[in-house]
Chains A and B, each alone.
Chain A
Amino acid sequence: NAGVTQTPKFRILKIGQSMTLQCTQDMNHNYMYWYRQDPGMGLKLIYYSVGAGITDKGEVPNGYNVSRSTTEDFPLRLELAAPSQTSVYFCASSPPRGRISTDTQYFGPGTRLTVL
């Protein structure tokens, strides 16, 4: 298994541009999450999904959108990028409830985004 993969690894955007951060997992995990990590800070939840077609806001959803059309993919969309969205973005997934290691989240390698 490749686990959780993210693309791109790095991206520089200009203010007002839009982009989609891709996240894919091949572990058949129901739950997927998007976090942002600012320098020297912890992880803040942006959006999460408990299964295909179901998404919900986390702690810092403003300026972002998500969709979950398949179990494997959970893209994060940035509309009208702002300097405050400069951060490292991590996608994570966890197995469905009732299985061993429920709640354990497995992280992707991250996308480093700079908005200038």
Chain B
Amino acid sequence: KAGVTQTPRYLIKTRGQQVTLSCSPISGHRSVSWYQQTPGQGLQFLFEYFSETQRNKGNFPGRFSGRQFSNSRSEMNVSTLELGDSALYLCASSSGTGMRGYTFGSGTRLTVV
């Protein structure tokens, strides 16, 4: 069974640009969440989607947005990039049942210069 796939793995963008990150969940998983990891801050919740609907949202500015498609694939978009947006962005998927929580992808490393 394929795991959570995130593309691209690495990305370098310039301040002020926008970026779109992609996530393909485990087959059959309908719930997708996004997290931002920065040094010293741990993982911070961005948003959660279930069946194409945003179910939960973290405390990030409106520049951060996401969506989920009918096949459960998800994208997140960051507009007007700032240097502080440099981070590892992690996508995780869940079947919604069981005790093992979310399965994470390997992440997209975004560097803003």
- Pair from one complex: no
Residues of B within 8 A of A (CB): none
